[in-house]
Amino acid sequence: MTRQPRPSKNTKKKSKGPQKKVGKTMLKDNQKRTESSRKWLLRQLNDPYVTKAQQLGYRSRAAFKLLEIDAKYHFLKVGITVIDLGAAPGGWTQVAAQKLKVGASKGNAAGSHLIAVDLSDMTPLKDVTMFTADFTEQSTIQAILKDVATKSAGGVDVILSDMAAPASGMTDVDHIRIMNLVEAAYEFACLVLKPGGTFVAKVLQGGTEATLLTRLKKSFAKVNHFKPPASRKDSAEVYVVAQGFRGSPGK
């Protein structure tokens, strides 16, 4: 399980060396850290969402983004089927499992079905089907389709994609990479979503590319962009929320 780092006890002791104050928590200057890891650590230590995630047992602060998106658009309900793409370490999956009551009762009496997919290994969650695989591989899509056919014959109600490739530091490259992942998730959504279904995906600001936006508007009754308060202000990420899937032609 990936846990957010906790402030080490050392940070509270008085150090002999000079200390720089950023926000509320100080770090010793004599620790061996690169500038970027130092900035990352300070940001984590001073981030109220990180603290709250630790208090509530969420695996990532990202959990609050899904809570906020769902509080606005109300698509997570008991008894539905949800696929969470780019799920690790599992904050969104935990939120979806709570909302769907997956793992809450013996034999999953709620009738909900939750599938989580990620390149990285993820600590199991009760009654959640997990695939450690590249979502863009045909074999992964086939495996998910098989699971859906077995457990959710009616199709899928919600596709979530928080997928992101590691940041390259080059804005254009990151944008293309994330848009490729969103396109793949959108095409998959068109294949498996039930009419009326919801598609939520992380994109980068500038919004969804015009071509994808046009396609989304054709496929869904409502398409919105939303930046949840838990999404860092200095991050270009924003979420596209498409609701009311019109159904795939030929289905």
Binding site for ligand SAM (CB under 6 A): 59-60, 62-63, 86-92, 117-120, 134-136, 162-165, 181
Least CB distance to ligand SAM at residue 54 (A): 14
Q: Quick check: is 202 catalytic?
A: yes
Structure tokens at 77: 């309900």
- Using alpha carbons, select from 28, 68, 35 the residue that is nearest to residue 49: 68
Angle between helices 210-219 and 171-192 (to 10 degrees): 20
What does the H/E/C string look like for 166-215? CCCCCHHHHHHHHHHHHHHHHHHHHHHEEEEEEEEEEEECCCCCHHHHHH
Nearer to ligand SAM, 22 or 56 (CB): 56
Nearer to ligand SAM, 83 or 87 (CB): 87
Nearer to ligand SAM, 1 or 22 (CB): 1
50: Cα within 13 Å, side-chain hemisphere: 15
Q: Return the SS3 of 242.
A: strand
Residues 103 and 126: beta-carbon distance below 8 Å: yes
Least CB distance to ligand SAM at residue 133 (A): 7
Q: Cis peptide before 166, with omega less than 30 degrees from 0?
A: no
Least CB distance to ligand SAM at residue 93 (A): 7
Nearer to ligand SAM, 70 or 118 (CB): 118
Catalytic choice (21, 126, 202, 218) = 202
Least CB distance to ligand SAM at residue 87 (A): 6
Structure tokens at 115: 């599938």
Return the active site residues. Answer: 202
